């Protein structure tokens, strides 16, 4: 579950409620940096999660301000981490505070990046992810 404003679960609290109902042994949260910020989720709420509640972290950046169309931004205008205005260091710190050590995936759905050489994009993404999560 994501705290994605473009879906029916608009807050992290609502996603947690679904997981509570289904059972944490059967489901976990996907924390997405873009959706966390766009949904207005307080990073203290993220930091208060138990690591076992998090299945996956998806990581990207975005331009500042509130976009006119959240779904369009999410699917076409994400930015490479560090190339936007989101406080990704604070997001990463909140995730680390939970004790989570599972998968962190770059999810940069971007029309702009699709036009570039895939090797160049991969190198940019690797460098960006290492800046926040380490080179390992």
Residue 7: inside a domain, yes or no?
no
Longest CA span, the chain: 44
Q: What is the pLDDT of residues 18-27, one digit of tens each?
A: 999 999 999 9
pLDDT higher than 80, residue 4 = no
For residue 54, being part of any structural domain is answered with: yes
27: Cβ contacts below 8 Å, ≥ 6 apart: 1, 18, 19, 55
User: What percentage of the chain exceeds 90 in pLDDT?
Assistant: 64
pLDDT tens sequence across 74-116? 887 788 999 999 999 999 999 999 999 999 999 988 888 899 9
In a domain, 33, yes or no: yes
Q: To the nearest whole number, what is the mean pLDDT of the chain?
A: 88
Within-domain flag for 2: no
Domain around 127? 12-133
Look-up of token digits 């205005």: 85
Distance CA 17, CA 4 (A): 14
Query: For position 47, which CATH number holds?
Result: 3.20.20.150
Is 31 a residue whose pLDDT tops 50? yes
Number of structural domains the chain divides into? 1
């Amino acid at each position: 579950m994501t705290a994605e404003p473009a879906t029916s679960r608009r807050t992290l609290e609502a996603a947690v409620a679904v997981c509570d109902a289904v059972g944490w042994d059967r489901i976990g949260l996907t924390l997405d940096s873009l959706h966390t910020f766009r949904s207005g989720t307080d990073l203290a709420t993220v930091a208060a999660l138990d690591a076992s509640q998090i299945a996956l972290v998806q990581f990207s950046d975005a331009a500042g301000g509130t976009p006119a169309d959240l779904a369009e931004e999410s699917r076409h205008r994400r930015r490479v981490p560090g190339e936007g205005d989101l406080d990704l260091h604070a997001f990463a710190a909140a995730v680390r505070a939970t004790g989570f050590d599972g998968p962190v995936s770059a999810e940069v759905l971007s029309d702009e990046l699709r036009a570039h050489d895939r090797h160049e994009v991969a190198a940019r993404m690797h460098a960006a992810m290492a800046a926040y999560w380490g080179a390992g």
